[in-house]
Amino acid sequence: METHQTNTSGSKSITATQRFNAFGATIAQSGSIVQYGYTGREPDASGLIYYRARYYDPNQIRFTQRDSAGFRDGFNRYTYVHDNPVNFNDPDGLVAQSIGVTITNTQNTNYYAFPSSSSTSSLASNIGEGMASVAGVIWNFPNSVVGATLGLAGVPFGAQVSCCANNAIQFTNNPLMSSTGAITLGNVINYGTSVGANTILDDSGNTMGTHEEQHTYQGELLGPLYLPSNFLGSTAGLLINGKQRGSANWNEAGPYSNPQTPW
């Protein structure tokens, strides 16, 4: 199963062509690189494909960030379209959607062109990543309690709660916060009265929501060490860069990068 893409000029002559396997890895390419590639989404210089909510790696056949929609799309929050790109697509990087026509192939056992690994090891990897995600949320739970307490304290004064996006329960319009600030504690994000998850953070187009989402992943890894790490990182930023979110703050380097990462 392959996807073909052809660009033509005004005179209808072919200027560029691309071929992808079923999962989006480039098989062949000629001419200048086109802006839109596999499934009509934009690849970057590294080969990752931008699916709005997160980036997809066609060579690893997985998203590079966990699904911010939580477990709505399955136990493994990194998987791409249930490992079935023929019958599903995921235009926003959140939830796989059926294309409406089921296609089967009983003649070619390598139909989906997986890398050389057994289905058993792939299943084990999926289960392992899913268990790690659940364990991270549990490990992060004490921080989440603090974040939820801050959010709930703001509800009588106008704060609003929503669930679940950016890998978190989100409190918006919280007057107990700086009006232009946001803070992530555990899997809970609190926003001030003048900002929200969709507020554009920088010239790269990153939003405040996806930025804070990276901090939830930090908390899932560090657990009770998350707050001390933030204190030390902010101190390093102030001393070296003159601002808390300076480049010396290791907790902010990844969330401010493009594509965004936890570290």
pLDDT in tens, 103-120: 444 444 333 334 444 444
Cβ atoms within 10 Å of 62's Cβ, excluding its own: 19
Q: At 135, which helix (H) or strand (E)?
A: helix 119-139
pTM above 0.85, yes or no: no
Q: What is the pLDDT of residue 1?
A: 53
The residues that bridge with 49 in the sheet, in sequence order, are: 43, 56
Q: At 232, which helix (H) or strand (E)?
A: helix 226-241
Lowest mean pLDDT among 6-15, 73-82, 89-98, 126-135: 126-135
Going from the C-alpha of 118 to that of each of 74, 104, 127, 137, 176, the distances in angstroms are 21, 20, 14, 29, 52
Per-residue pLDDT reduced to its tens digit, 204-259: 678 898 899 899 999 999 999 999 999 999 999 999 999 988 889 999 988 888 77
CA distance 218 to 184: 10
The string over 65-102, giving b where at least 16 C-beta atoms fall within 10 Å of a residue's C-beta and e elsewhere, is bbbbbbeebeebbbbbbebbbbebbbeebbebeeeeee
Comparing 174 with 17, the larger pLDDT belongs to 174
Per-residue pLDDT reduced to its tens digit, 39-70: 888 888 888 999 988 999 998 888 988 887 77
